[in-house]
Each structure stands twice: as C-alpha cells, then as structure tokens.
C-alpha cells in the first residue's frame, strides 16, 4: 500500500504508533525543501495546484521536520534542487532499498 499525503507531525506520529506492530511493513518518505527562497518560489508558483500559499508556515514546517527525530521507517528527502521527475526517481530508489532490506 502506498499513501501520499501532507500529514502533520502529529498524524505521522499516530501513524507510526498504529503501524508499529511487526505485521506492518511501511515506509514514510517526507519531502522537504531546505532553501527558503526556493521553497517560497515553489509555493507562490501560480501553476501550483494545491492552494497552499503560506510561505512562512512552510518554512517553519520544514525547519521543524529537519530538527525533530525521524519516525520509525521514515526517510527525509531534500528536494531543494530536484525536479519533480528527479524526486520521483529518488523516491523509487528509497523504496527499492527499503523493500530489499525487509
């Protein structure tokens, strides 16, 4: 199963707790952008379809993710200098490595 969403840290923590039993095999990939200028440009891009436009909150959110401990089976992927296509390739690489190690 694959779940793609913009879960808050509380939801990720809850998800990790619910899936902590050995019968669940899961991977969390959290995307971040570590350059505030690039993040701002992406968020304010008029072609972006999510509707989220709060640059300051996004910067804070990225900082919080980078400062906290990762959750079980979580990988944080810095997409600052990646295209969407490059990000997908990296996600597939992370998934494949995870799959082979389980």
In tens, the pLDDT along 36-72 reads 999 999 999 988 877 788 999 999 999 999 999 998 8
Q: What is the dihedral of CA 53, 59, 61, 64, to 10 degrees?
A: 180
Report the alpha-carbon distance of residue 79 to residue 94 in Å, rounded.
13
Of how many residues is the chain composed?
A: 102
Residue 20 has pLDDT above 80, yes or no: no
pTM: 0.84
pLDDT at 2: 63
Closest by alpha carbon to 42, among 67, 61, 50? 50
**pLDDT tens string 23-33:** 778 888 999 99
Structure token digits, residue 16: 């990790």
Positions of E strands within 1-102? 28-32, 74-78
**Is residue 52 within 8 Å of residue 5, measured between CB atoms?**
no
Q: What is the dihedral of CA 100, 4, 42, 54, to 10 degrees?
A: -130
């Amino acid at each position: 199963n694959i779940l793609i969403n913009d879960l808050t840290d509380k939801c990720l923590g809850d998800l990790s707790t619910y899936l902590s039993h050995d019968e669940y095999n899961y991977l969390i990939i959290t995307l971040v952008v570590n350059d505030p200028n690039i993040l701002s440009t992406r968020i304010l891009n008029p072609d972006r379809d999510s509707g989220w436009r709060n640059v300051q909150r996004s910067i804070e959110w990225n900082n919080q993710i980078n400062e906290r401990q990762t959750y079980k089976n979580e990988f944080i992927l810095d997409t600052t200098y990646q295209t969407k296509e490059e990000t997908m390739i990296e996600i597939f690489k992370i998934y494949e490595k995870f799959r082979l190690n389980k």
